[in-house]
Amino acid sequence: MELWQQMLRQSIDSADDLVRRFNFDKETAERLNSLFHIRINPYYLSLIRYPGDPIWLQSMPNAVELEDDGLPEDPLNEDGDSPVPSITHRYPDRVLFLVTSQCSMYCRFCTRKRKVSDSTKISMKFIQDGLDYIRAHTEVRDVIVSGGDPLMLTDIMLEKVLKGLREIPHVEIIRVHTKMPAVLPQRITPQLIEMMKKYHPIYVNVHFNHPWECTPEAKHACDLLADGGFPLGNQMVLMKGVNDDPDVVKDLNRKLLVMRVRPYYIYQADMVKSTNHFRTPIRVGLEIMDKLRGHTSGLAVPYFVIDAPGGGGKIPILPQYVLYHDDEKIVLRNYKYEVFEYDEKKGETGPIQTEVDARFLRKAPVIMRERKRRVSKRKARASVNPQVPLAEVEPDKPIQ
């Protein structure tokens, strides 16, 4: 048994554990565990600094979850876009492929509570059905392997999934979405890396929400992945009391870049049942974006997106940089709130008049520069030998 598997066995994963270790009321603990299973592995538990801190809020159940917030279990209508139980096919050329219901730590803000932690929701048959579906749909070129957390599978089981996907000719890109580097980095082993390398190109999206998660262990896990040739992107969920502060997000994203992880998305928290206490107003996300752009490296600026309720997909949202726009001009402001005007009319260029074959029109600026150089050269030679007509000094030659 590997270290990460041993650590999982030592997780807090029952109502009795909450009562014994954290003085939860027994009835409340049992109701919370029934609502959404509890699992906090020893590594992630060690990151908690005090009750109610950003790590605690993400992992520890809260009695407020028992309140009826009126939110749906499947806010993104993933089930409505599921032709087979393990597949969500929403976008034209890519699918979400769920290969496990298990996670090493059950996030209290989880958008898939209806499936995650329930082993009956995803089975080997469902995985095979997913592979068959992808094989039958040649428009699918990009597969997102998720769950649960796909790295909860053993190396042998995960390889069956990756091998099955790579054997499908039209699948070009495989993406593995995992929270392991943040919550149980011991799962990222040299053996795992060597296995996954056989099925490149594979992109890995990770899930860090707070700078306290960027530990030496997490950096080592990300180093192994990056050294293995896996491009890394981060998907952060914006949450009240966890990371709803521009300075916290800036610190997180800077630390991620040092770990060779590109900040990719900031998600507005989904409107999923029992998670309303995590949600922030949209203006909070816009303020964070406003304090990132121009104030830190562009590499540290992700997209802020809302995953539209009902299955509308991810929609990017930006602060208001365009103050005015018509056919004559556009008025913009920068990160310092300085205002600039860009003249649309002067910026326009009409068709380039040239006798060059239409195949080379995309090179028109280079062609025009070359012609000017040749004319200048002919004039120089003509000035040295005025007896020679200008047109005879160096006739135009086709531009190769």
Active site residues: 90-91, 94, 103, 107, 110, 112, 270, 307, 314
Q: What is the DSSP letter of 335?
A: T
Q: What is the DSSP letter of 104?
A: S
Query: What backbone phi and psi angles, to 5 degrees, belong to 331?
Result: -110, 125
Helices (H) and strands (E) in the chain, counts: 15, 12
Q: Find the DSSP H helices in the chain.
A: 3-9, 15-22, 26-35, 42-46, 54-59, 124-136, 155-166, 180-183, 190-197, 216-227, 246-258, 282-292, 344-347, 364-384, 390-393
Distance CA 161, CA 256 (A): 28
In the chain, what is the straight-line distance between the N-terminal and C-terminal CA atoms, in Å? 65
Q: Where are the beta strands (DSSP E) in 288-366?
A: 303-308, 313-316, 322-325, 329-333, 339-343
Q: What are the Cα distances from residue 174, in Å, to 23, 116, 200? A: 44, 22, 8
3 state DSSP class of 381 = helix
Q: What are the Cα distances from residue 17, in Å, to 11, 20, 40, 57? A: 9, 5, 10, 17
